[in-house]
Amino acid sequence: MRLAGMVLAAGVGSRLAPFTDDIPKPLVPVLDRPLLGELLDQLAAAGAEEVFVNLHHQADRVASYLSTRACRVPVHHRVEPELTGPAGALTLFADTLAAYDAVLVVSGDIVSDGGFEDLAAACAGGEADLVFGVTRSRGARRFGVLELDGEGTVLSAVEKPDVPDEEEHWISAGAYCLDTGLVGVTADLLAGGMPGVDYARDLAPVLMAGGRRVSGHPLRGYWRDIGTPDSLLGANLDAVSGRIPRLLPEGSGAGGPGSGEPPVFVHPTAELGEDVVFRGPVVIGAGTRVGSGAGLSHTVLLPGAVVPPGALVHGGLIGARDRRDAGPLPEAGAG
């Protein structure tokens, strides 16, 4: 089976605002790695021969990143003039996808420790025309919720239903493998007047109504959607704490379980003042500055963030506007 890959990288990231006002959502980092780069590597590892990326919001900045980011398979991008939805975006590459048997699609806002290889294998085995990567989750109203039978066949798919937060459901994990022949189905739905085509809301019900099999395949290991500030904070703290081993650079932790020291990641370009204290997991991103005597706990500093001298921060996600003309960090006691 010839397999292509696709990363959905066109979204505005409105739930992550105001952080995504300055950092395009696909380039938001987990530790020091923009998520888009990590997803490119995972698709290549899963067997994709080429990877396609759709762009829209801050397209120039994402395209610039792609032009400098090495990947072991060819990566191509195109800009969507108008958003067509997660499934509708396939039509942007209809001409090139026709050369492949299947396409493995991942949303540009998920952190996963693995399982894409298994998802591709399920697709290659002819399990279904459309295979959802799925995971169990509470707070499922933010996602596509799927009902599965004992063999993994999808019985129903509803996008963002009003279900109680305490209930646990199978949800679409933002990863899909599908027969490339379905690109024509999404094109027909768009031509019929749909402003955008979603996998759970639109494509899956159409396929099931036509007698085609749709299935769900559980992703193994760690999974998190980083579409909200709380989720982005949590993913970074999980990564520095060792819960996502493939994302933790060797030697980057200042401590860990049983060490007596909190796990800390400090980017090589960060500047730390004297007597900075860490109490709990902390991520210090690229180009950040932390003033003397500051104390940080359970906190993530996104690229360019500044913490003034003597500040105490707990449970924070701190970003930055463009600070190139903001002047030097004031010294402690400066008035």
Domain boundaries, the chain: 3-228, 249-318
**Of 112, 71, 74, 68, residue with least CA distance to 96:** 74
How would residue 251 be classed by pLDDT, with cut points 50, 70 and 90? Answer: low
The whole-angstrom separation of Cα 243 and Cα 240 is 8
pLDDT score, position 326: 39
The whole-angstrom separation of Cα 73 and Cα 68 is 14
- Judged on CB neighbours under 10 Å (0-12, 13-18, 19+), 326 is exposed
Look up the CATH architecture of domain 3-228.
Answer: Alpha-Beta Complex (3.90)
pLDDT score, position 71: 92
Single pTM value for the model: 0.90
Give the mean pLDDT of the chain.
88
Q: Residue 307 pLDDT > 50, yes or no? A: yes
**Of 326, 331, 8, 44, residue with least CA distance to 176:** 8
Which of 14-28, 69-83, 229-243, 304-318 shows the lowest mean pLDDT across its residues?
14-28
* Strands 169-179 vs 102-107: parallel, antiparallel or unpaired: antiparallel
